[in-house]
């Protein structure tokens, strides 16, 4: 079964609000074997909206519209559906009363404009909306039997209506879809693709690679008549992916790199402290995005200025001889963090996030040091590309990746 999405509204078209509904609908439908090939965003314009619906009906069995169900003259979804199927509106008097009461119960008089929210038509059922004024529409197109559905734009209203009203009416088969996302760190998308080689050519299971700020994600997807069969179908490919990317996969699905690191530390009864320069607080920020991080994340400092570096254990001679951005300074910061905060592990990172400010090293230079529980220090270095923010993000996840690699070794 094929579905198609139409998002309605000039605000959406102009990108003034983000269209988060499509993600929810696409995912829920995919899990039930309904695929989406097209999504169209169109403004509040009757002619174009009608054109979009007509075209979608030539390509899909189910057309889902989002938005344009409000009471104003700009809300044209109902009008466009009626024009497409050639029907006229009928007022659902029972719903009109519900609507009138809804306003009364809030101490407001019923605005006449809202009358059209009580419209239905010969081929159209209203979908109740317990959390808003606009009911949805479920229209069976005469002759073809194809379905046009219209739901309100606010995500909370749409989700409830989708799950409670729309899905039961569609009677879709149980799903036989299986997904695993392998999350990697320390390898770029092209080199990862080379390692995967012919594996990426398959269509069921299929493999997709996605560059994210925390590293490249590799998703294996399979479909079969049942979920168990889909899992069995994916298993050999997942094993191949694990082998091909051995040493780079830190987790699967919803696991995050900070989360995996904190869990490793917790399982060992160990703690971590951090002194960051180039990443300017971002390493601490992503670590503390994980609930309960204070169990293992002892403390951190941002030693951005040279004054701060001196305060955090970098000697004048190290700064003079090697500079603020150097393996030596980074090592001194890692050792200081371990000692000062009394943690089992310590991580430090220095680097240049831009080239314009008297940095001694070129932009993108990055040094990472990891002080280990046995007192030894491991260093890593990299050149990162991108703008200031991207460099900070790449540096933070490279540093955490290096730490993760040491943690899994011990």
Q: According to CB under 8 A, which residues from 217 to 246 bind a second copy?
A: none
Least CB distance from residue 257 to a second copy, whole Å?
Answer: 15
Q: Which of 191, 204, 232, 253 binds a second copy (CB under 8 A)?
A: 191
The single-letter DSSP state of residue 253 is T
Least CB distance from residue 342 to a second copy, whole Å?
Answer: 7
Nearer to a second copy, 45 or 270 (CB): 45
Cα–Cα distance for residue pair 245/218, rounded to 1 Å: 10
* 3-class secondary-structure state, position 339: helix
Q: Which stretch binds a second copy (CB under 8 A): 161-169, 277-285, 328-336, 399-407?
A: 277-285
Asked whether 118 and 95 are in contact (CB, 8 A), the reply is yes
Q: Rule CB under 8 A: is residue 198 a binding residue for a second copy? A: no
Q: Which stretch binds a second copy (CB under 8 A): 84-92, 171-179, 201-209, 366-374?
A: 201-209
In 3D space, the residue among 405, 403, 369, 398 whose CA is nearest the CA of residue 384 turns out to be: 398
Q: Which stretch binds a second copy (CB under 8 A): 8-16, 93-101, 164-172, 234-242?
A: 8-16
In 3D space, the residue among 340, 333, 406 whose CA is nearest the CA of residue 373 turns out to be: 406
Number of residues counted as binding a second copy (CB under 8 A): 97
Least CB distance from residue 140 to a second copy, whole Å?
Answer: 26
Q: Which stretch binds a second copy (CB under 8 A): 88-96, 166-174, 208-216, 235-243?
A: 208-216
Least CB distance from residue 143 to a second copy, whole Å?
Answer: 25
Q: Rule CB under 8 A: is residue 294 a binding residue for a second copy? A: yes
Contact code string over 103-122 relative to a second copy, x by CB under 8 A: --xxxx--x-xx--------
Q: Which of 54, 101, 292, 321 binds a second copy (CB under 8 A)?
A: 292
Please say whether the dihedral angle defined by the alpha carbons of residues 46, 52, 55 and 56, taken in this order, is positive or negative: negative
Q: Which stretch binds a second copy (CB under 8 A): 7-15, 61-69, 86-94, 372-380?
A: 7-15
The DSSP string of 296-319 is TEEEEEE--SHHHHHHTT--HHHH
Residues 28-87 contacting a second copy, CB under 8 A? 30, 36-43, 45, 48, 52, 70-74
**What distances in angstroms separate CA 186 from CA 388, 395, 402, one per listed residue?**
20, 11, 8
- List beta partners, residue 126: 137
Name residues whose C-beta falls within 8 Å of residue 46's C-beta, 6 or more positions apart in sequence: 76, 79, 80, 83
Residues counted in the chain: 410
Buried b (16+ CB within 10 A) or exposed e, 206-236: bbebeeeebbbbbbbbbbbeebeebbebbee
Least CB distance from residue 290 to a second copy, whole Å?
Answer: 9
Cα–Cα distance for residue pair 224/204, rounded to 1 Å: 9
Q: Which of 77, 124, 222, 293 binds a second copy (CB under 8 A)?
A: 293
Q: Which of 31, 100, 175, 200 binds a second copy (CB under 8 A)?
A: 200
Residues 9-38 contacting a second copy, CB under 8 A? 10-11, 13-20, 22-27, 30, 36-38
Least CB distance from residue 393 to a second copy, whole Å?
Answer: 10
Least CB distance from residue 280 to a second copy, whole Å?
Answer: 3
Residues 141-170 contacting a second copy, CB under 8 A? 156
Asked whether 8 and 36 are in contact (CB, 8 A), the reply is no
Pairing of strands 177-184, 147-151: unpaired
Residues 302-361 contacting a second copy, CB under 8 A? 302-305, 307-308, 311-312, 340-342, 353-354, 356-357
Cα–Cα distance for residue pair 217/257, rounded to 1 Å: 12
Nearer to a second copy, 96 or 235 (CB): 96
Cα–Cα distance for residue pair 314/328, rounded to 1 Å: 9
Least CB distance from residue 288 to a second copy, whole Å?
Answer: 3
């Amino acid at each position: 079964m094929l579905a198609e999405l139409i998002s309605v509204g000039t605000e959406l078209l102009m990108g003034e609000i983000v269209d988060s509904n499509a993600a929810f609908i696409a995912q829920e439908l995919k899990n039930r074997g309904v695929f989406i090939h097209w999504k169209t965003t169109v403004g509040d314009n009757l002619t174009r909206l009608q054109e979009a619906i007509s075209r979608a009906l030539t390509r899909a069995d189910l057309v889902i519209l989002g938005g344009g169900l409000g009471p104003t003259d700009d809300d044209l979804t109902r009008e466009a559906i009626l024009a497409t199927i050639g029907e006229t509106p009928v007022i659902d008097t029972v719903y009109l009363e519900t609507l009138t009461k809804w306003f009364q119960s809030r101490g407001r008089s019923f605005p006449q404009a809202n009358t059209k929210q009580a419209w239905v038509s010969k081929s159209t059922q209203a979908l109740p909306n317990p959390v808003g004024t606009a009911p949805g529409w479920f229209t069976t197109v005469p002759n073809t039997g194809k379905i046009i559905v219209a739901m309100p734009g606010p995500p909370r209203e749409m989700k409830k209506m989708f799950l409670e009203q729309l899905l039961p009416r569609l009677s879709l088969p149980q799903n036989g879809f299986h997904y695993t996302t392998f999350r990697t760190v320390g390898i770029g998308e092209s080199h990862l693709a080379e390692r995967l080689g012919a594996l990426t050519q398959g269509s069921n299971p299929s493999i997709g690679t996605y560059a994210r700020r925390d590293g490249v994600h590799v998703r294996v997807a399979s479909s079969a008549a049942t979920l168990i069969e889909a899992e069995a179908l994916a298993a050999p490919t997942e094993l191949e992916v694990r082998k091909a990317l051995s040493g780079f996969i830190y987790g699967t699905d919803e696991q995050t790199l900070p989360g995996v690191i904190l869990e490793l530390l917790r399982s060992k009864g160990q703690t971590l402290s951090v002194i960051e320069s180039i990443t300017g607080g971002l390493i601490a920020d992503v670590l503390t995005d994980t609930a309960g991080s204070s169990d293992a994340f002892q403390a951190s400092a941002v030693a951005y200025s040279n004054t701060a570096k001196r305060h955090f254990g970098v000697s004048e001679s190290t700064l003079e001889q090697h500079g603020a951005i150097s393996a030596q300074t980074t090592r001194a910061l890692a050792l200081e963090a371990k000692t000062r905060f009394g943690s089992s592990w310590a991580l430090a990172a220095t680097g240049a996030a831009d080239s314009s400010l008297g940095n001694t090293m070129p932009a993108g230079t990055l040094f990472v040091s990891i002080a280990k529980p046995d007192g030894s220090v491991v260093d890593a270095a990299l050149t990162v590309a991108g703008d200031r923010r991207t460099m900070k993000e790449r540096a933070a996840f490279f540093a955490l990746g290096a730490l993760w690699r040491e943690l899994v070794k011990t």
